[in-house]
């Protein structure tokens, strides 16, 4: 297999180093610190894989010989929609693939009238990812075709922050069903419970989740440094609202911890993790079944 699976023509769409440098300079030291904290948390959650590939074979008494192999995928194409702005969601998508040892991880953002958000480029720079593209949809489709031809051990991950765009329908048709696609849609609504406004880092919330519609809840209306709508009620009123993600003080996690797919406490308000994005989807799996050879079966039955 060649040293790289990437075609030469994509380099015209690479985000240049100068753009990365400008974006990194535009993000404050405190914001960089928050991104590093999320990266460290994702490393803790997923862990760095220590096994490159594995193979197992099992001989069953009934005469079946089953083999299974697993290795990191050769490539993964992460497609961001035009509204992509959340460094927390992007890191939560990229890091599992990187930690699993996927050979080529490519982030591709649809070319839009607005430049690539500085926060996203800074997050990708800190994650160590270098193949970041900004290109028209046709180029993304061509890239998928060439990657699929080079290796069928790949995957497409489509990330939509707002849910307004259909994620990857055309790409799935062009891959003829051979390349799995995973569509991730970011949380649209968030509920923030406030006992003491001083517990929360509001700037971190705004930086990490710029597209998230957050409603602040408390037992009384508070004076807040953010223009988010406020609702007065009890913690159980918050539960009834059914938000996609909750921000809860530590003392409120019980019994509220399971009220949303993701619940984040003070200090982790700038984080995110996909609850159903397991490392298993980062690997290519193969299974073989065949009849056990007669001499092997006889030897096994004789023992």
Distance CA 293, CA 11 (A): 51
Q: Please check whether residue 208 is in contact with residue 34, taking contact to mean a CB–CB distance below 8 angstroms.
A: yes
Distance CA 129, CA 187 (A): 24
Q: Tell the residue number behind the tokens 């003829």, with chain if given.
A: 176
pLDDT at position 212, please? 95
pLDDT at position 173, please? 33
Q: What is the number of other CB atoms lying within 10 angstroms of the CB of residue 39? A: 19
Q: Tell the residue number behind the tokens 């220590």, with chain if given.
A: 50
Q: At 152, list the tokens.
A: 């069928």
Q: pLDDT below 70 — which residues of the chain? A: 1-2, 49-52, 112-113, 163-177, 254-257, 294-303
Q: At 169, list the tokens.
A: 């329908």
pLDDT at position 233, please? 95
pLDDT at position 252, please? 86
Contacts 24+ apart (CB under 8 A), 237-242: 238/191, 238/193, 241/191, 241/215, 241/217
pLDDT at position 55, please? 78
pLDDT at position 91, please? 97
Question: What is the third-level CATH fold of 8-186?
Answer: Rossmann fold (3.40.50)
Count of H-run helices and E-run strands, the chain: 10, 13
Task: Report the C-alpha dihedral over residues 8, 76, 246, 42, rounded to 10 degrees.
Answer: -90
pLDDT at position 3, please? 73
* DSSP class of 287: E
Q: Which ranges in 178-219 belong to alpha helices (H)?
A: 202-208
Q: Please check whether residue 101 is in contact with residue 53, taking contact to mean a CB–CB distance below 8 angstroms.
A: no
Residue 108: partners with Cβ closer than 8 Å, 6 or more residues away:
77, 78, 79, 80, 132, 133, 134, 135, 140, 143
């Amino acid at each position: 297999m060649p040293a790289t699976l990437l075609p030469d023509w994509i380099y015209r769409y690479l985000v240049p180093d100068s753009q990365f440098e400008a974006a990194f300079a535009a993000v404050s030291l405190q914001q960089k610190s928050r991104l590093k904290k999320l990266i460290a948390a994702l490393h803790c959650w997923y862990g760095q894989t220590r096994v490159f590939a594995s193979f197992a074979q099992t001989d069953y008494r009934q005469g079946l010989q089953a083999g299974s192999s697993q290795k990191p995928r050769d490539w993964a194409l992460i497609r961001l929609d035009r509204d992509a702005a959340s460094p927390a969601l992007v890191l939560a998508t990229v890091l599992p693939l990187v930690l699993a040892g996927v050979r080529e991880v490519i982030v591709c953002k649809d070319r839009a009238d607005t430049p690539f958000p500085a926060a996203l480029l800074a997050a990708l720079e800190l994650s160590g990812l270098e193949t970041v593209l900004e290109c028209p949809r046709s180029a993304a489709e061509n890239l998928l075709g060439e990657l699929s031809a080079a290796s069928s051990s790949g995957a497409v991950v489509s990330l939509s922050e707002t849910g307004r765009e259909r994620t990857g329908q055309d790409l799935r048709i062009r891959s003829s069903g051979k390349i799995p696609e995973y569509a991730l849609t970011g949380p649209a609504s968030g509920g923030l419970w406030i006992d003491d406004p001083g517990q929360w880092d509001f700037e971190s919330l705004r930086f990490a989740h710029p597209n998230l519609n957050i409603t602040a809840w408390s037992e009384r209306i508070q004076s807040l440094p953010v223009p988010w709508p406020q609702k007065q009620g009890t913690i159980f009123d918050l539960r009834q609202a059914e938000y996609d993600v909750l921000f809860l003080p530590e003392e409120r996690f019980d019994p509220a911890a399971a009220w949303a797919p993701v619940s984040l406490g003070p200090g982790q308000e700038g984080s995110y993790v996909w609850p159903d994005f397991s490392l298993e989807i980062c690997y290519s799996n193969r299974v073989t079944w065949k009849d056990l050879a007669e001499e092997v079966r006889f030897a096994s039955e004789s023992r």
